């Protein structure tokens, strides 16, 4: 799958977002090494701490379907004028399962940049630190 196709899959999730508080829909598409893709959108909650970001939704869907590794690329899309950067919680959760992940970050005009997760979360804390 091309990077632009993965970004468009992330954009296709925006209408599914549940964001009555922020009014900021976000979509994500997580590509695995076997070509499978898991999508997600943000799901807000009146108790804000209980909300889920699109990135974590896609990752949790993959994990709940039995995936634990093989995550190679994640696209994140929002309708903003600036790039839709992942929050710290998402960066940490992604690092747990895919420290070598490539992240495609898009803005509303569908332009995107590509960065390695390790650049977004330098010196990340992962499972190896607990051994």
Catalytic residue positions? 55
In sequence order, which residues have a C-beta less than 8 Å from that of residue 114 and are 6 or more positions away?
A: 3, 102, 103, 104, 105
DSSP H helices, 49-122, are 54-64, 88-97, 117-120
Instruction: Look up tokens 């940049």; give the residue.
Output: 113
CB count in 10 Å sphere of residue 129: 7
């Amino acid at each position: 799958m091309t990077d632009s196709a993965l970004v468009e899959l992330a954009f296709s999730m925006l209408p599914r977002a549940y964001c009555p508080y922020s009014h900021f829909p976000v979509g994500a598409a997580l590509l695995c090494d076997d070509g499978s893709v898991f999508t997600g959108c943000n799901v807000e909650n009146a108790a804000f701490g209980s909300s889920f970001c699109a990135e974590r939704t896609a990752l949790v869907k993959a994990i709940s379907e039995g995936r634990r590794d093989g995550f190679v690329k994640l696209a994140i899309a929002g309708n903003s004028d600036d790039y839709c950067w992942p929050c710290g919680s998402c960066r940490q959760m992604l690092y747990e399962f895919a420290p070598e992940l490539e992240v495609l970050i898009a803005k509303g005009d569908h332009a995107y940049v590509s960065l390695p997760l390790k650049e977004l979360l330098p010196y990340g804390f992962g499972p190896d630190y607990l051994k």
